[in-house]
Structures are given as C-alpha cells and as structure tokens.
Chains A and B, each alone.
Chain A
Amino acid sequence: MSELPSELRYLETHEWVRNEGEGIATIGITDHAQDALGDVVYVELPEVGSTVNAGEEAGVVESVKAASDIFSPVTGEVIAINEALEDAPETINDSPYGDGWFFKVKMADPAELDGLLDADGYREAAGE
C-alpha cells in the first residue's frame, strides 16, 4: 500500500490538501496517483492570483503514459505555485507529499476541509 499521511485530506480524484493554518492550504497529488501515472514529464498549474473552485479543474499533470486533470479540493485564490516543477516534474514522483506540491490557496472557507476524505476514506475510495 502506498503512503497516506493521516494529517492530510483527500479527494477521490487523488489530490491531497494540507491545512497550513491561517487559511492557507497546499495541494498536490497522492503517492498512489503518481505511481499510477508513472514518470511525470509535464505539469500545468493555475496562475498565481487566479481563483480555483472546489471540485473544479485547476491544472493538468502529464506522464509518459497519460494526461490527467488536477482538481482543486478547496475554493480560493492561488497565492503560490511550485515553479520548480517546470524543470523537474519528476519531483512529483520522488516526493508527492513534500517537494512535489502543486499550488497554495488562500481559502475562501477553511470549513470546506471538513467535508473532504481522511486517509481511511481515501484509501477506501481509491480501492487500495
């Protein structure tokens, strides 16, 4: 079974979100997702300053095998993107919960986090 940190919340579509406090959330994709995708070669991230909506498309991750949409688990303004992924997309494979993060959001409503899956819920949803 792949790694699933218990402090994170998850979407069934394989994104994770970390509550950084002060209304800030960091978003990435799960270990299970990077493993299923294989070598990641390209990632398309939202623009800083743009608004993302919970459950809606916020970017694309492409591996040698396939392209996959990234959905934002929360609503809010994008305040940072992981620019290092442009030159080193393989970081997503190497460190999906660490250096392989995608973007940070200033959440419109931090209570949205409560409605997301916890590690056990995701494990079940992902059929792991």
Chain B
Amino acid sequence: MAKRTPLYDAHLKLGAKIVDFGGWDMPLHYGSQVEEHHQVRRHAGVFDVSHMAVVDIAGSDSLPFLRHVLASDVDRLKTIGKAQYSLMLNPRGGVKDDLIVYLAGESRYRLVINCGTAAADVEWLREQSCAFGVDIAPRPDLAILAIQGPEALARVRAVACAEAGAAIDTLSPFSAAQVGTWFIARTGYTGEDGVEIILPAEKAVDLWQRLLAVGVAPVGLGARDTLRLEAGMNLYGSDMDETTSPLTANLGWTIAWQPQDRDFIGRAALESERQAGPRQKLVGLVMEARGVLRAHQTVTCDGVAGQGEITSGTFSPTLGYSIALARVPVAFEGTAQVDIRGRQVPVTIVKPCFVRHGQAVVNQE
C-alpha cells in the first residue's frame, strides 16, 4: 500500500489526479498542470512535499560526521539557520542523493532528503556513523509545505502568527528559522521566491486550508517538475544518480575542495576524475521547433564524435517551447540534433537555466 501524506484527503477533496511517486500517493495536478505552473510564476502556489524526508542529526560529532558524509563543507554554515545544497556521494563519487542541510542549533543539523532514497540514505548514514558520536533521527512526524511564487512571502505572512511573520521579513535566501512549531526556510525548487515550512503533521491540513483561503493555488507534482526544469534544477533519479558524478551533472559547484585535508566520501574518485577531465557535461537544450523533448532521446552534434542523452525534457509553459537537460560529450556546443521518433530535430545548447523569477534567461553555453 502506498504511503500517504497528512494532506491526502485534502488533495482528493480538490479533485487531484493522484499518482504513485516513489511509493507515495501524490497529487499530479488538480485540473491543469500548465495553469498551476503559471500560478507559481505569476502569483503563489502551495505544494505538499511531505513525501520528502526530514532527518535530524545531533550529538557532539555532528560536524565531523557531516563533513565526512557530505561533499559540501558544513563547517561553512556559521550562523544558526543557514543552509547548503549538498550531495551525499558513494566512494566511487556517484551521487547517492541531493539534499539541503541546515544548521539547526549547537551541534544540530537538519537534512531534507528525497523520498525515493530516504530509507537507503538513513541506512547509509547509520553505517557511516559508527566512529562518530551522533544521533540520527528520521522525522516521519513532520510535514512539509512549499509556498512559492512572487506573492508567496506576502501570502504566508497573512496566515502566520506575528512572530513567524517577523521572522519571514528578516529571513535571507537559503536560511531558516524555527518559530514555535514551524521551521521556516527560504528555499524552494521552482526558481521563484518562497518558503518551505516544516511543521508537525497534525498541523499541516490547517495551514494548507488557510493558505488556500488567502488565494494561494494548490500545485501538484506535475507543475513542480516543469518549474524546476525551467529553473535548471536537477531531479534525483533523472538527471543524476549513483552512477553519475557531480562533475557530469552540473553540480561541481556544490563540492567544497578546500580544505584539502577534509576526507569526504567520494573525494578520491572525484579528484581523479577532475584531474583527467570529465568526459561529459550536463547542458540545457532549447527546441523552438514544434514538439516536445523527452527523457532518453538521443542527442548528436555535427562534427563531434559520440552521442548524448536527454535526462529530463518537457514543454516549458513559461517559454512556450520545449526545453531539456541532457548529458552530452564535453565537446558538444552550439547546435545539436535530437532524435524525435526518427526525425533529427535541431536544438540549441544553452546553460542549464531557462527561467528565473518569472523571466526567460536562456543563454548560449
């Protein structure tokens, strides 16, 4: 039986089309995925992302432990509430998961990890923790709502207590504050401003209803995917996984190479790969011709050997044409062709970011 979030009944009541996502019954859309997408780009939308897992790490060795298991350096989180986007790698340098890590307090960290990898992640963390004095606590008692869009902060303020409202006013991007039962983080997966609120599961329905009452649109996972792809953000399991290195997933920037003596899992493999030079790269593709780019279509480039593959593709509701992320040989540039049902369709290779804050930002690579 599939898992359900505390908001499952609320989704049904709104007429959601429910699909299986990593073993969870989740809303794909509530009528029109494209309309929900526009709501987030133009106004504000709320996503139930309670399928994502929260793991709290505490104990005197929390810092050295996370500096060992994560590719980013959590020692750079200097004030409570600050966050990093980070990768957990295997010893071969493959991506076990991508996550956000928050400094939650003195020797306390909070990780938000993907639902499909959550069980394996927790097992992995426990295996790696033997030599460290840490407590690893999954938090299935918590729900997560993401409120995103240019009007998101104002709408959340309208339903928040005075103290939470004040916290939101001072919250800088990529940081969080605990106010009462709300852990409020100015993070998201859409390329728009907004917050993600982690709160006790039993309080999720009430917050959901109050957000809808002030005009925030419910948004399903379908639009979440088109929004993140327009923003050029990777999806774990599609754009990278255990077999791909961050260096071929456009995620090299998340790795803290300094200090050199920090021995994080996967470091040795990545150092060799970096020295040899990665053979592939993750790029953006834009196709202004009619049609839709899809995952697993083949990409070729005139005069360059080898071929690449689309890892995520969709129709971009904001741009009105199709966009994709593709892993291709490093020499690919300029124009390429994608095989769509036997037709070679020209595409432009661009930096993997298409839309930010409601505006098109397509730039040639």
A90 and B38 CA atoms in complex are apart in Å by: 15
A64 and B224 CA atoms in complex are apart in Å by: 12
A90 and B320 CA atoms in complex are apart in Å by: 13
Known interface pairs A60-B341, A65-B222; A42-B315 also in contact (CB < 8 Å) = yes
> Main SS of the interface on chain A?
mixed
Determine the chain A residues whose CB is within 8 A of the CB of B35 once the complex forms: 39
Q: How far is the CB of B269 from chain A (nearest CB, A)?
A: 36
A68 and B195 CA atoms in complex are apart in Å by: 37
A60 and B343 CA atoms in complex are apart in Å by: 13
Determine the chain B residues whose CB is within 8 A of the CB of A67 once the complex forms: 292, 294, 341
In this complex, how many residues of chain A approach chain B with their Cβ under 8 Å: the count is 14
Q: How far is the CB of A126 from chain B (nearest CB, A)?
A: 16
The one of A41, A60, A93 in contact with B315, judged by C-beta atoms closer than 8 angstroms, is A41
Known interface pairs A64-B314, A65-B222; A39-B33 also in contact (CB < 8 Å) = yes
A108 and B273 CA atoms in complex are apart in Å by: 63
Determine the chain A residues whose CB is within 8 A of the CB of B34 once the complex forms: 39, 41, 64, 90
CB proximity to B under 8 Å, residues A40-97:
41-42, 44, 60, 62, 64-67, 86, 90, 93
Nearest-neighbor residue (CB-CB) of B35 within chain A: A39
Known interface pairs A64-B34, A64-B315; A38-B222 also in contact (CB < 8 Å) = yes
Known interface pairs A62-B315, A65-B222; A38-B292 also in contact (CB < 8 Å) = no
Nearest-neighbor residue (CB-CB) of B290 within chain A: A42
Q: How far is the CB of B37 from chain A (nearest CB, A)?
A: 8
Please state if A38 and B29 are interface contacts (CB–CB under 8 Å): yes
A62 and B35 CA atoms in complex are apart in Å by: 17
Determine the chain A residues whose CB is within 8 A of the CB of B32 once the complex forms: 38-39, 93
Q: How far is the CB of A4 from chain B (nearest CB, A)?
A: 19
Determine the chain B residues whose CB is within 8 A of the CB of A66 once the complex forms: 294
Determine the chain B residues whose CB is within 8 A of the CB of A90 once the complex forms: 34
Determine the chain A residues whose CB is within 8 A of the CB of B290 once the complex forms: 42, 44, 86
A64 and B317 CA atoms in complex are apart in Å by: 9
Q: Quick one: which of B17, B34, B294 has the most chain A CB within 10 A?
A: B34
Nearest-neighbor residue (CB-CB) of A86 within chain B: B290
Please state if A42 and B291 are interface contacts (CB–CB under 8 Å): yes
Please state if B292 and A42 are interface contacts (CB–CB under 8 Å): yes
Nearest-neighbor residue (CB-CB) of A41 within chain B: B315
0 or 1 for each of B280-301: is its CB under 8 Å from A? (1 = yes): 0000000000111010000000
Nearest-neighbor residue (CB-CB) of B34 within chain A: A39
Known interface pairs A38-B222, A41-B315, A42-B315; A62-B29 also in contact (CB < 8 Å) = no
For the complex, is B28 an interface residue (Cβ under 8 Å from A)? Answer: yes
Please state if B291 and A64 are interface contacts (CB–CB under 8 Å): no
Nearest-neighbor residue (CB-CB) of A65 within chain B: B222
Give chain A's interface residues, CB within 8 Å of chain B.
Answer: 38-39, 41-42, 44, 60, 62, 64-67, 86, 90, 93
- 7 A-B residue pairs with Cβ-Cβ distance under 8 Å, sorted by A, are A38-B29, A38-B33, A41-B34, A41-B315, A44-B290, A67-B294, A90-B34
Q: Identify 13 new A-B residue pairs, CB closer than 8 A, beyond the known A64-B292, A86-B290.
A: A38-B17, A38-B28, A38-B33, A41-B34, A41-B292, A42-B290, A62-B291, A62-B315, A64-B34, A64-B222, A64-B226, A64-B317, A67-B294
